[in-house]
Structure 1
Amino acid sequence: MSPPLRIAGVYVLVAAIWIWCSDRAVDVLVPDSGLRMTLQTLKGWAFVLATGAMLFWMIRRDVRRLEQGNRRLRQGREQALRVLVAAMDVRHQETGHHSERVARMAAELARLDGVRGRALDELRLGALLHDIGKLALPDTILTKPGPLDEEERTLMRRHPRIGYELLQQVDFLRGSSDVPYSHHERWDGGGYPQGLRGEEIPLAARIFSVIDVWDALITERVYKPAWPEARVLEYLREIAGSQLDPRLVELFLGHYVALKSLASTPGAEPVTLSQPAA
């Protein structure tokens, strides 16, 4: 029996028993009609209070069960996504659980910027799946040790739109498509695939881009060695206002030590919790 039917059935049964028994008891025990009327009124209020408390308890219990079921469902979905992302990272020859790492850091940077609730969850999943569109690209491009030629670069630049189209086909991921679609846009409008500028770029994508550029430079890739940390931080300052949102770069640098610690803590969640544009 479904929860609504069970609650309704229990309510009707308890109400019928209470009304029948209490009416008989009042009729037998109270001969005075005036007092009987008063007791009937009090009995009615007692019934309302008692059944209200009972309904509250039953509904709260079922809501908690539903919340637990939804939580397990979300966890199962996310575990499946993490397996997919881990396989993607292996295929792309990314280092040290790249997607997990940047998702943790992006979620914490978003929290520092005041993002909360559903928007934060969508950003985190979008960051985890930021390169999902690369599934459609050949390995010869993804793992090429040298620079891409013009034709290869054109193919590479298709992956944000492919990622967006993939996520739009999944109900619970539609709200997470801002990062995969827009993380290669630039603050000055010179990015792709839409050529958005400034705050036209979704906030989630602007937040993630700061983390993505940092991670791409500070880690070794098949096409380049890792940069020294001091050089990476200086480069972020240089491209603030051109490639990256300058306010978010400042926020990142102001909390750099805490954010960097998340990069080396696999499985860690923020206190709640690729490469540069070609």
Structure 2
Amino acid sequence: MSQPRECASRLSSCVRLLVTLVDDRQPGYTRHATAVARLSRMVGMRVGLDELELEHLRLASLLHDAGSLRLPFPHVGSRWDLPAEERRVWETHPRQGARMAGMLGLPPDVAATILGHHERWDGSGYPDALSEAATPLSARILGVCDVYDSARSGFMDAREVRLSEDEALEHLLCDEVSRFDQTVVGALRDALVDDREIGVLTGMYA
């Protein structure tokens, strides 16, 4: 095996291992991360990302909650029901995940995407309360797709409430001007309409 292929194989194994370890703490994470990666690629293609950018977005999508492995509590059942102190700790996971990406030798934009995926258009996100285009486009894509899949699947919701496609989109669309990049939300909506023809996502929310 050539050295570049060997390096790529080792990196792929590390990514799979981290995803599995997060799944041990957050059951369902493997499915969630895979779904977010698929959604992010569809949106990224619509907004004009090139193949290298799409690959980096895929890696960030798979590892977006890897930073939770560095948190002191063993399991997070619902991120919204955490006591205030534990929530403050939880909100450090994007920074922890970005550091882990750097330790793996991943490109800086992978780390930046992980770091920014909980930032919001209106500055209400974390960890740095960035607003509008101060957050990289890739992170805005990941953030929207993360929220959409969580809403559709009930991931990280102790009640396991699952919204329909229309309800999940309405959740994003009613907030798009304030919390989410409306261009990204629109691209997700259009990608989902197209998917009704090709059926890539059909089985993910059955």
TM superposition score category, shorter chain reference: 0.7 to 0.9
Aligned twin of 1:233: 169
Opposite residue 223 of structure 1, the aligned amino acid is A
Aligned twin of 1:169: 103
Instruction: Say yes or no: does 1:132 pair with 2:66.
Output: yes
Instruction: Say yes or no: does 1:247 pair with 2:168.
Output: no
Distance 1:249 1:120 in 2: 17
Aligned twin of 1:37: none
Q: 1:51-103: per-residue Cα shift (whole Å, max 9, x none)? A: xxxxxxxxxxxxxx95xx52453144213312320331232012661112211
Instruction: Say yes or no: does 1:149 pair with 2:83.
Output: yes
Opposite residue 166 of structure 2, the aligned amino acid is A
Distance 1:158 1:145 in 2: 12
Q: 1:179-203: per-residue Cα shift (whole Å, max 9, x none)? A: 2100010001111111111111101
Q: What is the total number of aligned residue pairs between the two structures?
A: 200
Query: Are 1:103 and 1:127, in contact at CA under 8 Å, matched by a contact in 2?
Result: yes
Query: Are 2:42 and 2:188, in contact at CA under 8 Å, matched by a contact in 1?
Result: no
Query: Are 2:19 and 2:30, in contact at CA under 8 Å, matched by a contact in 1?
Result: no
Query: Are 1:187 and 1:197, in contact at CA under 8 Å, matched by a contact in 2?
Result: yes
Distance 2:9 2:41 in 1: 17
Say which one has the larger Rg.
1
Q: CA deviation at 1:165?
A: 1.7
SS in 1 for 2:106: helix
Q: CA deviation at 1:238?
A: 0.5
Structure 1 residues 38-49: aligned runs within 5 Å: none
Partner residue of 2:28 out of 94, 118, 121: 94
**CA root-mean-square deviation:** 2.5
Query: Are 2:21 and 2:69, in contact at CA under 8 Å, matched by a contact in 1?
Result: no
**Superposition TM-score, scaled by structure 1 size:** 0.65
Distance 2:143 2:188 in 1: 11
Instruction: Say yes or no: does 1:82 pair with 2:24.
Output: no
Query: Are 2:121 and 2:131, in contact at CA under 8 Å, matched by a contact in 1?
Result: yes
Aligned twin of 1:61: none
SS in 2 for 1:213: helix
* Identical pairs, percent: 29
Stretches of structure 2 lacking an aligned partner (at least 5 in a row): none
Instruction: Say yes or no: does 1:202 pair with 2:136.
Output: yes
Query: Are 1:189 and 1:198, in contact at CA under 8 Å, matched by a contact in 2?
Result: yes
**Superposition TM-score, scaled by structure 2 size:** 0.85
The 10-residue stretch of structure 1 (109-118 or 211-220) with the greater mean CA deviation from structure 2:
109-118
Q: CA deviation at 1:247?
A: 0.8
SS in 2 for 1:226: coil
The 1:263–1:166 alpha-carbon spacing in structure 2 relative to 1, beyond 3 Å, is same
Instruction: Say yes or no: does 1:223 pair with 2:153.
Output: no
